[in-house]
Homo-oligomer: A and B are copies of this chain.
Amino acid sequence: MSRPLTIALDAMGGDRGPDMVVAGAAIALERHPELHVILFGDSAVLEPLLARTPKVREKARIVHASVAVAMDDKPSQALRRGRNHSSMWMAIDAVRQGLADVAVSAGNTGALMAMAKVILKTMAGIERPAIAAIWPTLRGESIVLDVGATIGADAGQLVDFAVMGEAMARSLFGLKRPTVGLLNIGVEEIKGVEEVKAAGRILRGAELPIEYAGFVEGDDLGKGTVDVVVTEGFTGNIALKTAEGTARQIGTYLRAAMRRSLLSRIGYVFARGAFDALRDKLDPRTMNGGVFLGLNGVVVKSHGGTDALGFASAIDLAVEMADNDLVAKIARDLDVKHEAMAQYSETTVDAESG
């Protein structure tokens, strides 16, 4: 970390609640000893938890929140019940006030996004925020967005996603010129959605400082063909969950195969180390966290069902994003995009009228 960061944790979110969050904070504080942590939640629950976790008590501040957003609250319900007084609201609001650099919650996605939009507002020129996921690939990792913030996106919004995802890839992977692709279904003439095609024309034609690599398909996600894959939220969410489901499915097959016979069990014992390494590689907890992009502040969504280790990964990601001044980077890039688009529109109009 280049400067001491403060992280706001929604201590009441997630299927496993405060225990998991505090245990996750403990792991994160071991990894980042200079981190400041604020835990928002029911102090009657949190105080005794921290009493048992001295490492966290030393470094974390508890701020009492009287309401906890439930995992199955509808966004509108959460906004009504949880405004001002919920742990989720207060964690995000700490970012707005500049009291924290980033907020992390394992609470329900719809409520978190709804509150984040109300509290942080979308950045100038951004109509819709996106959720960016980190996707493990054969080449390392890619960023995929949007994985479920909003359904449908027009060409301009897809270009915004490209700009934001590209900035995140520079921050997270340390790449100078990450490659960006648009998710599509092949290159034949009748194929492809109109919005995706139009976004492709802009990314190719406008003088954006983006390394646009063209269309990619579903199987390019796992290959890591590009560093940033841009799509709208419906398709992105289904692709993400399909990949997670397929990974679990094959894991189940593999475990069954290894229990299949005496020989395979013996083989398993010998290859134990290899299987452990593979399990670690496929462990969804190491890659936990969706980053909300396009808001005036960074919010990281952890998987609701995660454990302490997974929550610590989400904190890692949040630290990385805050440490790299992601929002400032995106704001600068959006300015550049704005100018390039003005130029591009003029050129297009000139070309069409001339």
Chain A residues with a Cβ under 8 A of chain B: 74-76, 108-110, 114, 137-138, 148, 151-152, 183, 185-186, 188-193, 217-223, 231, 233-235, 237-250, 252-254, 257-258, 260-261, 263-264, 266-275, 277-278, 281-282
Contacts and interface: CB of A to CB of B under 8 A. Distances in A.
Contacts of A266: 267, 270-271
A188 B253 CA distance: 32
Most buried by B among A74, A148, A189, A271: A271
Contact of A241 (B152, B217, B231): B217
Contact of A252 (B138, B240, B242, B245): B138
A307 to B, nearest CB: 18
Given A76-B189, A189-B74, A235-B235, A245 B218 contact: yes
A218 B247 CA distance: 12
Given A240-B218, A258-B274, A260-B273, A190 B110 contact: yes
Contact of A190 (B75, B243, B249, B264): B75
Nearest to A231: B238
A238 B282 CA distance: 21
B237 A218 contact: yes
A143 to B, nearest CB: 16
Most buried by B among A190, A220, A234, A263: A234
The A interface, classified by DSSP as helix, strand, loop or mixed, is: helix
Contact of A250 (B219, B237, B250): B250
Nearest to A77: B189
Contacts of A233: 185
Contacts of A239: 218, 238-239, 242
A138 to B, nearest CB: 6
A245 B219 contact: yes
Given A235-B238, A253-B281, A220 B192 contact: no
Contacts of A272: 263, 267
A248 B243 CA distance: 11
Top 5 A-B pairs, shortest CB-CB distance: A267-B271, A218-B241, A267-B270, A219-B245, A264-B274
Contact of A273 (B138, B254, B261, B277): B261
A277 B250 contact: no
A151 B277 CA distance: 40
Contact of A151 (B191, B242, B243): B191
Contact of A234 (B138, B222, B235, B243): B235
Given A185-B238, A238-B235, A221 B245 contact: yes
Nearest to A218: B241
